[in-house]
Chain A
Amino acid sequence: MAFRRFTDRKKKDALLSDEIEAHLAHEVDANIARGLSPDEARRQARLKFGNPLVTRERVWEYRSFPWIEDAWRDLRFAMRSLAKSPSFAVIAVLVIAVGIGANTAVFSVINTVLLKPLTYPDPGSLVMLMNVGPQGSFQVANVPKFNLWRQQTSIFDAVAAYDQAGAGLNLTGGNDPEQLQGVHVSLDYFRLFGAPLAAGRVFTSAEDSPNGGRVTVLSYGLWKRRFGADPKIVGTNIQLDGQPHLVVGIIGPNFVTETPADLWLPFQFDPISRDQAHYFQVAARLKPGVTPQMANAELKLVADQYRSMYPGVLGPKTTFGVSSLQEVMVGDTRLSLFVLLGAVTFVLLIACANVANLLLIRSTARQRELATRSALGAGRSHIIRQLLTESLAISLVGGFLGLILGFAGVRLLLAFSPGDIPRVGSDGSAVSLDTHVLLFTLGVSIFTGILFGLFPAISTSRINLARALKESSSQAGVGFRTGKVRSLLVISEVALALVLVVGAGLLIRTFMKLQGVDAGFDTHNVLTMAMSLSGDRFQKTAGVAQIIRDGMDRLKNVPGVSTSAATCCLPLEGGFGLPFDIVGRPKGNDPNTGGAGYIPISWGYFDVFKVPVLRGRSFTEHDDGSAPGVVIINEAMAKKYWPNADPLNDRLIIGANMGPVFVEPPRQIVGVVGDMRGNGLNRDPAPTMYIPIAQMPDKVTALNSRIAPLWWIVRSPQEPHPLAKPISVALRESSGGLPVAHIRSMDEIVVTSTARQRFNMLLLTIFGASALLVAAIGIYGLMGYSVQQRTQELGIRMALGAQASTIRNMIIRQGMILATIGIVIGVTGALWLTHFLASFLFEVKALDPAAFIATLLLLSAVAVVAVWFPARRATRVSPLTALRFE
C-alpha cells in the first residue's frame, strides 16, 4: 500500500495531465459564464492554476525516492570519475580489499565457532555438568556422580553421559578389519541431542543396564560406507571385537557430534557402582524456566550429598555446576579469536588511513573541478555526498573483493593448520558463507567507506572558490590543515602497525621458545599407532600383557626397528591422573598425600623416548603380575615430595579412596626418570608416576581398555614413516588380527600440539607484515607527495647552493619525525595492549624487551627505506625545471 506511491509513475503522470486539462476546462467554462471572451477566459484560467508542469513535477517528485535516485546518479558519476584515474582506484580498492578480506576471514571463523548456535534442537538449554573447584572447572564424570545428577529431575529434563570414543573398536568378520569410532552413551543421549532416526530405534532402558546385551546404533556415514545403506541391516548382527552386536537402529544423516562417531554403544552403567574413575562427560537439558543459576544452587546441595556418600574424594571447596554446552565446546578459543579480531581491525584501520591519504592527495588535485561544480551551484552537502559516494564505491568494490579474498584465505589457513579450533569441521569445512558473514562484510564496507571518505570529503569541500579557480590545478589548496591531517594519518598508521608487529614479535618469540624447549624426550624417528583393545580378551591384565609381549617380540625382527614399547597414552595427548599416599607419612588435611600423572607403560618405554633414568632402574620384562609391585616417578615428583629424602626408600599407595576398582597393594619406587613435558611443551612437567602395564589391577585394565586404545611406540634409526606398513602387518599378526590406526610420527604429534600457537603466530605475523607494508606505503606516499609539491622550493634551495645531501637529510628528517612520533605512540599502546596476549605467551613476557626492540629497529628501518626514495628524488630536482615547474 505504501508502495503504491512509487509504481506506474508514467501512467499516473498522464492521468494527472488529463485531470489538469479537465480542471482548466472547467475554469474556462466558468470564466466564459462570467462573460469573458474565450481567449481571456483561457488566459485567466492558466493564471489562476499556475504552471501545470510544476504541479506535475511536484507530484512526480513526491512519487520518487529522491535519496535513492540521487545516490544512484552519484554512484554512476563516482564510477566514471574513478575510472578516469584507474591506478588510484585500483590501489585504493586493493588496500581496502586486503583489510576487509582479513576481517571477513576472522569474522567467518568467529561466526562459525562463537555465534552459530549448535545444531541441536533448542541448544540454549543444553548444559555440561562440571566439577567446579579452586583449580577451575572440569567436565569429567564418574558413574556415581552421573547417577546422582540423573536424579535431579527438578532441574533437568534429560541427562546423558557420553565418552569421546577414546578406545575405538574393531569391526571384524570380513576380509578388511577396520578400527571404528564407537561412542558410548547412556539412555537419554539421543533424546537429549535430538538425534533423528533413519531406521530402527535407539537403545531401550533394558539395553542400557548391566548385562543388557550387545547392541549398537549405526551412524548414517558408516551405514552408507560399510553396509551400502541396506535397511535390512537393522535387526541383524555385526561383528565388533569378534563379538556379535545387534544393530537396533540407524541415526539420520545430519546429526553432528563433537567427536565424530561411526556407531554408538550403550554404557550399561551399574546403578550401584562406587567406581571413582572419571572417564566420560555428562550433558543435560535444563527444564524450561530453570536458569543456570538455579541449577547451580541445586547442584551445590547435590555436591554436599555426594561428599557425605563418598567421604574423602571431593575437596571441601569443590562443588558441581553447569556451563552452557556451547561455551564448554568453544573453551579458550574465544580469547584467541578476539585477539585476532582486534589485530585485523588494526589492519583495516591502517588500510583506511592509507586510503584516506590517497583520497586527500586526489582531492587536492581535484580542487579546480570541485570549485567549478561549486560555482555552478552544487551545495557543500552535495559535494560531500559526491565525494562520499566515491569512497563508498571504493569500499564496496573492495568489500566484494575482500569477501572473496577472505573466504579463500580462511579456507587456506584452516586447511594448512590442523589446529584444535572447535566447531570448524575437518579443515574448516564448517566455515561457510552465510548471511551473518555477508552482512558483516557489507557493514564493514560501508563503515570503512565512510571512515576513510568522510574527513577528506569535509576538508575538501571547504574550498576557497576564488583562490582555487585562480591558482593552477596541481597546487591549489594544499593548505596547512590537510597537510597536518595527512601527517596525523601517517603517524597513526605507524603506531597501529607497531602494535601489530610487537604482537607478532611476541608470538614469534613464543613459538621459537616452544621449538627450542627441551621436551625431556627425543621426539624424532618415533612412530606411534593405536590398537583398540576392546573385547573380552583384554578385560584382564594378563591378556594385555601378553599382546604387548608378543608384539614387542615380533617387532624386534622387523628390519629398521631399534626399540619398541607400548603405553596407555602418548605424551602431549593427555593422560590419567590419580591420587597417591606415601606409606608412613601423615596426610594432613587433604584426603591424600598428593596427586600425580598416572601412565601405565611397558618396559622399553624410556628407551624409545630416550628419557634418562636418573636414579634406580628402569622397568624390565620381569616386572609382571607375578613380581612385586613397582613404580617409577619423574624428577618433578621426586623434587616435590622428597626434597630432602630418597624416594627409592618409599612405597606408594595409588588410587586410595578412588573406589574398589583401584584397590592394590603398595608399590615400591624403583627409579627416578627425567621430566617429560607430557602435558604440552608450554607446560612445566607435572609430577608423574609410571607403572608397568603388566602390573595393573585387572579392573583398571578393563576400564583402560574401554576408554583408551593401546599405543605402540617404535623407534627407528631414520625417518620412521616407511616402517608403517611392516609394523602394522607385524602387529596385526602378533595380535591375532587386530588392526592398528592413527599412525603418526611423534614429530607430527609435537607439531599438532603446537598448532594453535603456530596458527596464532602465523596469522598475527601476516597481519603485522601487511600492516607494516601498508604503513610504509603511507610514509612513502606522503613524503613523495610532499617532495612533488615542493619541487619549486627545492629548486630554489638548490639554485641558491644547497647541497644535495642537505636536501636529502631535510626530507629524511621530516619523514622520520613522523615515523618517530608514530613509534612512540605505538609503543605506548603496545605496552598496554600486549597484556591481552599474556596467556598466549610461553617463556616470553608481555613486555619482552627483545620483541619491543626488534620491532623498533624493524619499523625504523622500514621507515628509513620509505623516506629514502622520495628524499633521493628530491636531490635529483634540477633547479631549472623546478623553477619552471607549475
Chain B
Amino acid sequence: MTREKTPAAGDLLQGTLDMLILRTLITGRAHGHTIAEVIERTSENALEIEQGSLYPALHRLEDQGLLASEWGLSENNRKAKFYRLTPKGRKRLIADTAWWKQMTRAIGLILGESAK
C-alpha cells in the first residue's frame, strides 16, 4: 500500500531526480548518503526527499549505464558504494540540463515573467 502513497510527487520527481543525481556527481564520485545531503543542501531544503527514494533511481541509472559504481571506504572509514558519472551519463546530463532550462524558460514566459 505504501508504494502508492505519493504517486504524483514520485512521477514529477522521477525525471528531475535523475537529473539532480547526475548533476551532483559531476564534481566526482560520491556515495548515496553524500548525494542525498548535497541535493538537500544545495536546494536549500526545498526538495526534501525521502532519502530511501534515492536508491531506486541510483540503481536504474546504473543499469542504464549512466552511472558506474564501486565499493570503497568513506570519509568516516565506513564501507560504502560509490557512484560516478560515465561518459554516457555526462552526455545525458548536458542534454537534460539544456532541456530543463528550455522548459523552465518556456513556463516562465507563459506565467508572465519577462524573458531575460
Q: Residues of A with Cβ closer than 8 Å to B?
A: 1, 4-5, 12, 15-16, 18-20, 22-23, 25-27, 29-30, 48-52, 54-55, 57-59, 62
Nearest residue, chain B, Cβ from A24: B33
**Contact status A16-B2, CB under 8 Å:** no
Given contacts A1-B65, A51-B52, contact A62 B59 (CB under 8 A): yes
Q: How far is the CA of A23 from the CA of B76 in the complex (A)?
A: 12
Q: How far is the CA of A30 from the CA of B36 in the complex (A)?
A: 13
Q: How far is the CA of A61 from the CA of B109 in the complex (A)?
A: 40
Given contacts A23-B51, A27-B33, contact A55 B79 (CB under 8 A): no
Interface residues of B in 1-45 (CB under 8 A from A): 2-3, 31-34, 36-37
Contact with A20, one of B3, B52, B65 (Cβ below 8 angstroms): B52
Contact with A26, one of B2, B33, B52 (Cβ below 8 angstroms): B33
**For A30, what are the chain B residues with a Cβ–Cβ distance below 8 Å?**
33, 37
Please give me the 4 A-B residue pairs with the lowest Cβ-Cβ distance, nearest first. Answer: A50-B52, A26-B33, A50-B50, A55-B52
**For B59, what are the chain A residues with a Cβ–Cβ distance below 8 Å?**
12, 16, 59, 62
**Contact status A22-B80, CB under 8 Å:** yes
Distance in angstroms from A1 CB to nearest chain B CB is 7
Q: How far is the CA of A51 from the CA of B1 in the complex (A)?
A: 12
**Contact status A19-B32, CB under 8 Å:** yes
B53 located at the interface, meaning its Cβ lies under 8 Å from any Cβ of chain A in the complex: yes
**For A54, what are the chain B residues with a Cβ–Cβ distance below 8 Å?**
2-3, 52
Residue of B2, B52, B60 ringed by the most chain A CB atoms within 10 A: B52
**For B2, what are the chain A residues with a Cβ–Cβ distance below 8 Å?**
51, 54
Against A, the Cβ 8 Å flags (1 = close, 0 = not) of B49-77 are 01111011001100101000000001010
Query: Could you list 8 A-B pairs, sorted by A, with CB under 8 Å?
Result: A1-B65, A18-B79, A29-B78, A30-B37, A49-B51, A50-B50, A54-B3, A55-B53
Distance in angstroms from A410 CB to nearest chain B CB is 48
Total CB contacts across the A-B interface at under 8 A: 73
11 more CB-based (< 8 A) A-B contacts, given A26-B80, A55-B55, A62-B56: A12-B59, A22-B80, A23-B31, A25-B78, A26-B78, A29-B76, A50-B50, A50-B52, A54-B52, A55-B53, A59-B55
**For B79, what are the chain A residues with a Cβ–Cβ distance below 8 Å?**
18, 22
Given contacts A1-B65, A50-B51, A52-B52, contact A19 B81 (CB under 8 A): yes
Residue of B33, B36, B76, B81 ringed by the most chain A CB atoms within 10 A: B33
Given contacts A48-B51, A52-B52, A62-B56, contact A22 B63 (CB under 8 A): no
Nearest residue, chain A, Cβ from B48: A48
Range class of the B interface residue count: 20 to 34
Q: How far is the CA of A1 from the CA of B62 in the complex (A)?
A: 11
Q: How far is the CA of A706 from the CA of B21 in the complex (A)?
A: 87
Nearest residue, chain B, Cβ from A29: B76
Contact with A58, one of B3, B36, B74 (Cβ below 8 angstroms): B3
**Contact status B74-A26, CB under 8 Å:** yes
**Contact status B31-A22, CB under 8 Å:** yes
**Contact status A23-B56, CB under 8 Å:** no
Residue of A5, A20, A55 ringed by the most chain B CB atoms within 10 A: A55
Residue of A23, A48, A62 ringed by the most chain B CB atoms within 10 A: A23
**Contact status B78-A16, CB under 8 Å:** no
**For A20, what are the chain B residues with a Cβ–Cβ distance below 8 Å?**
52, 55
**Contact status A22-B78, CB under 8 Å:** yes
Nearest residue, chain A, Cβ from B81: A19
Nearest residue, chain A, Cβ from B76: A29
Distance in angstroms from A23 CB to nearest chain B CB is 5
**For B65, what are the chain A residues with a Cβ–Cβ distance below 8 Å?**
1
Nearest residue, chain B, Cβ from A4: B63
**Contact status B50-A49, CB under 8 Å:** yes
Distance in angstroms from A15 CB to nearest chain B CB is 8
Residue of A5, A12, A50 ringed by the most chain B CB atoms within 10 A: A50
**For B3, what are the chain A residues with a Cβ–Cβ distance below 8 Å?**
54, 57-58
Residue of B3, B53, B56 ringed by the most chain A CB atoms within 10 A: B56
Distance in angstroms from A719 CB to nearest chain B CB is 80
**For A27, what are the chain B residues with a Cβ–Cβ distance below 8 Å?**
33, 51
**Contact status B74-A22, CB under 8 Å:** yes
Nearest residue, chain B, Cβ from A6: B63
Distance in angstroms from B64 CB to nearest chain A CB is 9
Q: How far is the CA of A809 from the CA of B89 in the complex (A)?
A: 79
**For A18, what are the chain B residues with a Cβ–Cβ distance below 8 Å?**
79, 81
Nearest residue, chain A, Cβ from B5: A54
Given contacts A27-B33, A29-B76, A55-B55, contact A22 B81 (CB under 8 A): yes
Nearest residue, chain A, Cβ from B60: A62
**For B78, what are the chain A residues with a Cβ–Cβ distance below 8 Å?**
22, 25-26, 29
Q: How far is the CA of A813 from the CA of B76 in the complex (A)?
A: 89
**For A4, what are the chain B residues with a Cβ–Cβ distance below 8 Å?**
63
Q: How far is the CA of A18 from the CA of B2 in the complex (A)?
A: 22
Contact with A49, one of B52, B60, B63 (Cβ below 8 angstroms): B52
Nearest residue, chain A, Cβ from B51: A49
Given contacts A4-B63, A57-B3, A58-B3, contact A23 B53 (CB under 8 A): no
Nearest residue, chain A, Cβ from B56: A58
**For B50, what are the chain A residues with a Cβ–Cβ distance below 8 Å?**
48-50
Q: How far is the CA of A438 from the CA of B85 in the complex (A)?
A: 47
Q: How far is the CA of A225 from the CA of B74 in the complex (A)?
A: 82
Q: How far is the CA of A440 from the CA of B3 in the complex (A)?
A: 42
Distance in angstroms from B82 CB to nearest chain A CB is 10
Nearest residue, chain B, Cβ from A22: B80
**For B53, what are the chain A residues with a Cβ–Cβ distance below 8 Å?**
50, 55, 58
Q: How far is the CA of A26 from the CA of B52 in the complex (A)?
A: 14
**For A25, what are the chain B residues with a Cβ–Cβ distance below 8 Å?**
78
**For B52, what are the chain A residues with a Cβ–Cβ distance below 8 Å?**
20, 49-52, 54-55
Nearest residue, chain B, Cβ from A15: B81
Q: How far is the CA of A29 from the CA of B31 in the complex (A)?
A: 15
**For B33, what are the chain A residues with a Cβ–Cβ distance below 8 Å?**
22-23, 26-27, 30
Distance in angstroms from A818 CB to nearest chain B CB is 48
**For A59, what are the chain B residues with a Cβ–Cβ distance below 8 Å?**
55-56, 59
Q: How far is the CA of A546 from the CA of B16 in the complex (A)?
A: 102
**For B31, what are the chain A residues with a Cβ–Cβ distance below 8 Å?**
22-23, 26
Q: How far is the CA of A199 from the CA of B15 in the complex (A)?
A: 69
**Contact status A19-B55, CB under 8 Å:** yes
Distance in angstroms from A2 CB to nearest chain B CB is 8
Q: How far is the CA of A55 from the CA of B10 in the complex (A)?
A: 13
**For A55, what are the chain B residues with a Cβ–Cβ distance below 8 Å?**
52-53, 55-56
Q: How far is the CA of A67 from the CA of B49 in the complex (A)?
A: 29
Q: How far is the CA of A16 from the CA of B31 in the complex (A)?
A: 12
Nearest residue, chain A, Cβ from B80: A22
Q: How far is the CA of A19 from the CA of B54 in the complex (A)?
A: 12
**For A49, what are the chain B residues with a Cβ–Cβ distance below 8 Å?**
50-52
Interface residues of B in 66-113 (CB under 8 A from A): 74, 76, 78-81
Distance in angstroms from B39 CB to nearest chain A CB is 13
Q: How far is the CA of A58 from the CA of B57 in the complex (A)?
A: 10
Q: How far is the CA of A55 from the CA of B36 in the complex (A)?
A: 14
Nearest residue, chain B, Cβ from A21: B79
Q: How far is the CA of A59 from the CA of B56 in the complex (A)?
A: 5
Q: How far is the CA of A733 from the CA of B60 in the complex (A)?
A: 90
Distance in angstroms from B50 CB to nearest chain A CB is 4
Q: How far is the CA of A464 from the CA of B77 in the complex (A)?
A: 62
Distance in angstroms from B40 CB to nearest chain A CB is 9
Q: How far is the CA of A62 from the CA of B55 in the complex (A)?
A: 11
Nearest residue, chain A, Cβ from B79: A22
**For A51, what are the chain B residues with a Cβ–Cβ distance below 8 Å?**
2, 52
Q: How far is the CA of A212 from the CA of B103 in the complex (A)?
A: 85
**Contact status B32-A23, CB under 8 Å:** yes
Q: How far is the CA of A52 from the CA of B2 in the complex (A)?
A: 12
**For A52, what are the chain B residues with a Cβ–Cβ distance below 8 Å?**
52
**For A26, what are the chain B residues with a Cβ–Cβ distance below 8 Å?**
31, 33-34, 74, 76, 78, 80
Nearest residue, chain B, Cβ from A56: B55
**Contact status B60-A16, CB under 8 Å:** no
Nearest residue, chain B, Cβ from A26: B33
Distance in angstroms from B79 CB to nearest chain A CB is 6
**For B55, what are the chain A residues with a Cβ–Cβ distance below 8 Å?**
16, 19-20, 55, 58-59
Distance in angstroms from A143 CB to nearest chain B CB is 70
